[in-house]
Chains A and B, each alone.
Chain A
C-alpha cells in the first residue's frame, strides 16, 4: 500500500521522490510512531486508548513549561519527566479499565476530554514558543545521522528505543507473551493462572508512558505547543497505523514491524498530500479513509478465514 502511494505521488510530481520529501517523512514519523507503539499492545488485548492525543498535548505543554521555568534543566530530565507524567496519566486509565471494569472506550473518551481540559488549565491561555524550548531539544529534530543525501533525525532514533523495547518485550519476555495470550484467549489465560488484570493494567500504563514520550518528541519537533491543538487527532492516526499495520481488531496477534510499516504509510500519505498540493483540509478525510480501509480489509480477511475453516 505504501508503495502504491509513493508511485501515485511520484507519477503526479517527480519531486516526491526527493531527499527533502524523505526528510519530511522522517521528521513526521517519531511522534506518530511512539504513540502507535503505545496503542498496539492495548489493541492486542482487544482494548482501545483514545486519550493518547490529549496525553501528548498535556505532556508537551507541561514539559515545555518545566523547561521554560528552569532553562538550565538537561534534556534527559525533560524526557524523564515526560515519561513519568505520561505513565501517571496512563495509570488512571489502567485503574479504570483493569480494576473498576469501565469499558476502555468510555474510560478513554472521558480521559481524552479530562486531559485536554487539564492542558488548558496548565496553559492559562498561554503558549509555549520556540524561544521557550531548550535548543538542545529542538536540535534533535534538526540534526541527525546523515546517510547519503538524507538525514535520519535524532528524534526518530529516540523513537526507535521504545520500538526496540516493545519488539523485544512482545517477542521474548513473559509479560509480552502473556499480552498475546490474554488477547487471544482470555478464558484460557485465566485458567492457566495468568494475571489478566496485571496485563491490562500494564498495557494502559505503557500506552500512557509512550504518549508522554511522544509529548516530549512533539516539543522537540515543533518547538511550539498550543493547548488547543497539540496532539489533536493523533489517537486516530495511531489507531489507523496499528490497524493498517496488520494488528487484527479481534486481538491476540500483531507485530511491531507491522506497526512501523503502518506509521510509514501514514507519514507518506501525509507528506504526499502536501507535496501533491492537496490542502490540509483533506487530512482528516485521509486518516478516516485509511482506518476505514484497514477495518474493511481486516473484516474481509476474517470472513475469508472463517469460511476456509468451515470448508476444511
Chain B
C-alpha cells in the first residue's frame, strides 16, 4: 500500500467511528458484512473502472451495461441453465458492450466521456424499451447474498468481489497488460512511439470494464431476483468516486487497486452510516458526488505541489 492508499483507509476509520456514535447497531459485524452485499456491484464496476481511468479514459456506461446484461440474461436463459453458462454469458455480453465503447473511442475517435454518455443512454434505453414497465425474473442462482461462508457471518458476494479485485490488482500491477495500460494512460503518443499496441490496450480496458459490469449483473440479478430497467442508477458515480478517492489520477497513468477497494469500502460505510442517521438515499448520492469532486481537487493540489518540487539538473 502506498501513502495515497492510506487516505481512504483513514477516512474509513473516521466514518466507522462516527457511524458507531450514531447508532449502537452500526458497528455490528454481521450487519455491516451483510450491508456489504449492496456494494458488490459497485465494487466490481470500480474494479473495471480503475483500468479505464488508469488508461486515461472514463466509462459512464457501466451501470447501464449491467442493467442491459441482466435484462438479456433473464430474457433468454431459463431456470434450468447451468450457473457456469450464465456467468460466462453475462461476462461475454458485458465485454461486447464494452467493446462497442472501445470502438467508438479508438476507431471513431470520440472522446470517451461523450461516447460512453451516448451508450449509457442507449444501453439502458434498450433495456427499458425491451422490458417496459415490467420486471423479468432472474432465472438461476437466486439469493447468492444469503449464502454465507461456512458458519461464519461472511456472505459470499463480497468475498468473490475481493478475490476478483485482488486478481485484477495483480493484473494491473504485475502484468505486461497492466504496464501497458499505465503507459498509455501516462502518454499515449510516447507509448505508440515505443511500439506499444495503444489502440488494442484502449479496446481491452473498455472490454474489461464491460466484463466487470456483466459480472455485476449476476450479483444484482441474484440479489434482487427480478430485473427492471431502472436498476442500478448512479452506480457509475459510486464506481468513479471509489477509483478517484482511492488515489487513481483522473488524468490517467497512475492508480492503485488497493486504493479503489479501500475507497469503495469507505463509500459503503459512509452510505450505511448516513442510512442509519436517516439521510435519504437521494441526499446520500449528493455526498458521494461532493466526495468525488473533493478527491479530484485534492489530487490536483498534490500534483501542483509535486510539480513545484525542484528537479535535479
Taking CB atoms and an 8 Å cut-off, the chain A residues in 75-117 that contact chain B are 96, 100-103, 105-107, 109-114, 116-117
Best-buried of B129, B131, B287, B290 by chain A (most CB within 10 Å): B129
Nearest-CB distance from B131 to chain A (Å)? 8
The answer to whether A50 touches B250 (Cβ under 8 A) is no
Q: A96-B293, A106-B244, A236-B117 are in contact. Are A289 and B125 (CB under 8 A)?
A: yes
**Is A21 part of the binding interface, using a Cβ–Cβ cutoff of 8 Å?**
no
Interface contact A292-B113, CB-CB below 8 Å:
no
Contact in complex: A291, B289 (CB < 8 Å): no
Is the Cβ of A110 less than 8 Å from the Cβ of B126? Answer: no
Could you say which of A23-31, A137-145, A171-179, A279-287 contacts chain B?
A: A279-287
**Closest A-chain residue to B285, C-beta based?**
A113
Q: Please report the C-alpha to C-alpha distance between residue A203 and residue B109 in the assembled complex, in whole angstroms.
A: 25
The chain A residue sitting closest to B115, CB to CB, is A295
Asked if B118 contacts A295 (CB within 8 A), the reply is yes
Residues of A within 8 A of B292 (CB): 106, 109-110
CB distance from A41 to the nearest CB of B (A): 16
Tell me if B283 and A110 are in contact (CB < 8 A). no
* Residue pair A121, B125 in contact (C-beta under 8 Å): no
A289: which B residues are within 8 A, CB to CB? Answer: 122, 125
B216-256 contacts to A, CB under 8 A, are: 229, 234, 237, 240, 244, 250-251
Interface segment, one of A59-67, A153-161, A296-304: A296-304
Q: Contacts A117-B285, A120-B282: A295 and B104 contacting too (C-beta < 8 A)?
A: yes
B125 near A117: Cβ-Cβ < 8 Å: no
A288 in contact with B290 (CB, 8 Å): no
Which parts of A22-81 form the interface with B (CB within 8 Å)? Answer: 48, 50
User: Of all chain A residues, which has the CB nearest B281?
Assistant: A120
Task: Tell me if A118 counts as interface (CB < 8 A to partner B).
Answer: yes
Q: Are A285 and B297 in contact (CB under 8 A)?
A: no
B286 within 8 A of A: yes
* A296:B108 contact, CB within 8 angstroms: yes
Q: Is B18 an interface residue (CB 8 A)?
A: no
Select which of A103, A239, A243, A303 is within 8 A of B296 by beta carbon.
A103
B128 at the interface (CB under 8 A from A): yes
Our pick among B128, B244, B250 for the contact of A285 (Cβ within 8 Å) is B128
Determine if A261 is an interface residue (Cβ-Cβ < 8 Å): no
Decide if B192 is an interface residue (CB 8 Å cutoff).
Answer: no
Q: Are A249 and B108 in contact (CB under 8 A)?
A: no
Q: Are A291 and B117 in contact (CB under 8 A)?
A: yes
CA distance A280 to B104 in the complex (A): 27
The verdict on B119 contacting chain A, using a C-beta distance below 8 Å, is yes
Q: Is the CB of A100 within 8 A of B124?
A: no
In the complex the two chains form, what is the Cα distance from A118 to B240 in whole Å? 21
The reply to whether B121 and A281 contact each other, CB–CB distance below 8 Å, is no
- Complex CA gap A111/B133 in Å reads 29
Interface residues on chain A, number (Cβ under 8 Å) = 46
Contact B293 A111 (CB under 8 A): yes
**B175 in contact (CB, < 8 A):** no
The size of the chain B interface, using a CB distance under 8 A, is 48
Binding site secondary structure of chain A: helix
CA distance in complex: A289, B240 (Å): 24
**Partner among A109, A111, A284, A302 whose Cβ is within 8 Å of the Cβ of B125:** A284
Q: Does B132 interact with chain A (Cβ within 8 Å)? A: yes
* Cα distance A287–B287 in the bound complex, in angstroms: 29
A172 to B140 CA separation, bound complex (whole angstroms): 63
A233 within 8 A of B: yes
Contact B286 A102 (CB under 8 A): no
Q: Which residues, 216 to 270 on A, are CB-close (under 8 Å) to B? A: 227-228, 233, 236, 239, 243, 249
The answer, yes or no, to whether B21 is at the interface (CB within 8 Å) is no
A233 and B129 contact, CB distance less than 8 A = no
Q: Are A288 and B289 in touch, CB under 8 angstroms? A: no
Is A281 a contact partner of B132 (Cβ separation < 8 A)?
Answer: yes
Q: Does B27 contact A (CB under 8 A)?
A: no
Contact A295 B297 (CB under 8 A): no
Is A292 touching B118 in the complex (CB atoms < 8 A)? Answer: yes
Shortest Cβ gap from A222 to chain B (Å): 20
B:84-120 near A, CB below 8 Å: 104, 107-111, 113-115, 117-120
A102 touches B293 (CB 8 A): yes
Q: Could you tell me if A279 and B132 are in contact, using CB atoms closer than 8 angstroms?
A: yes
Residues of A within 8 A of B108 (CB): 295-296, 299
Contact present for A112 and B300 (CB under 8 Å): no
Compute how far the CA of A228 lies from the CA of B131 in the bound complex, rounded to whole angstroms.
22
Is B148's CB within 8 Å of the partner chain A?
no
Whether A110 contacts B289 in the complex (CB less than 8 A), given A121-B283, A295-B104, comes out as yes
Q: How far is the CA of A121 from the CA of B132 in the complex (A)?
A: 30
User: Within 8 Å CB of A96, what residues of B?
Assistant: 293, 297
B111–A249 CB distance below 8 A: yes
Residues of A within 8 A of B (CB): 48, 50, 96, 100-103, 105-107, 109-114, 116-118, 120-121, 227-228, 233, 236, 239, 243, 249, 279, 281-289, 291-292, 295-296, 298-299, 302-303
Cross-chain pairs A/B with CB under 8 angstroms, 23 sampled: A48-B114, A96-B297, A100-B297, A107-B293, A107-B296, A110-B292, A113-B289, A116-B282, A117-B284, A120-B282, A120-B283, A236-B117, A239-B117, A281-B128, A281-B131, A282-B125, A285-B122, A287-B125, A288-B121, A289-B125, A291-B122, A292-B119, A296-B108
Which residues on B are within 8 Å of A, measured CB to CB? 58, 60, 104, 107-111, 113-115, 117-126, 128-129, 131-133, 229, 234, 237, 240, 244, 250-251, 280, 282-290, 292-293, 296-297, 300
Could you list 13 further interchain pairs (A-B, Cβ under 8 angstroms) beyond the known A106-B58, A114-B289, A299-B110?
A100-B297, A107-B296, A110-B293, A113-B289, A117-B282, A117-B289, A249-B114, A284-B128, A287-B125, A288-B120, A288-B122, A292-B119, A292-B122
